[in-house]
Amino acid sequence: MFVTFEGIDGSGKSTQVELLRAELERRGLEVVATREPGGTDLGEGVRELVLQGPDMTSWAEALLFAAARAELVAETIRPALERGAWVLSDRYFDSSLAYQGVGRNLGLERVLELNLAVTGNLVPERTFLLALPAEEALKRGGDAPDRLEAVFALQALAEGGYEEVASRFPERIVKLDATRPAEETARHVREHLGLS
């Protein structure tokens, strides 16, 4: 099963990936956990560039994320799914829809079309949107925000972008309150996946 976790920076995605990974492995299942951008040599290079690099145009940003995603799907996600593993990803194309499609005003449909093309139409079976107000996420942030985290206005726009994405794909996206304790959120995740 392909499961993704989405939300603005600081919403607890990485924590939920790790909690679910541990639960699935405890049950004897093979799990591949990854992140975006990242998970491959190319993806890690793109991660460094888009998060710590120079300012860039919105389309350049969207295309770099898409390039990293194409590589991740080809090298990691599809092979894992083909051998029957669970794949858990900290972000996938819904991030691009929220941040670049809505936040950068490139258009949700245009960014979706690009990402479906580069991933061969690979869509997660379940996506958990960890909803957190941008103000709360800012409080949770570390000492050295990256290029995207540093723009509070973009985080606020992405928060609204995620709401738009969730309403566009209600059959796939489960919205959870990320202000709740991590273990409580993890329990809701397991229930939605039939693991309770």
Task: Write down the domain spans for the chain.
Answer: 2-192
pLDDT tens per residue across all 196 residues of the chain: 999 999 998 899 999 999 999 999 999 999 999 999 999 999 999 999 998 899 999 999 999 999 999 999 999 999 999 999 999 999 999 999 999 999 999 999 999 999 999 999 999 999 999 999 877 876 766 555 554 555 677 788 889 999 999 999 999 999 999 999 999 999 999 999 999 8
What distance in Å separates the CA atoms of residue 63 and residue 69, rounded to the nearest whole number?
10
What distance in Å separates the CA atoms of residue 101 and residue 95, rounded to the nearest whole number?
9
Identity of residue 49: L
What distance in Å separates the CA atoms of residue 163 and residue 165, rounded to the nearest whole number?
5
Predicted local distance difference test score (pLDDT) of residue 141 = 62
Token readout for 92 is 């996938």
Predicted local distance difference test score (pLDDT) of residue 83 = 98
> Per the CATH hierarchy, to which homologous superfamily does domain 2-192 belong?
P-loop containing nucleotide triphosphate hydrolases (3.40.50.300)
Predicted local distance difference test score (pLDDT) of residue 147 = 47
Identity of residue 140: R
Identity of residue 167: S
What distance in Å separates the CA atoms of residue 158 and residue 6, rounded to the nearest whole number?
11
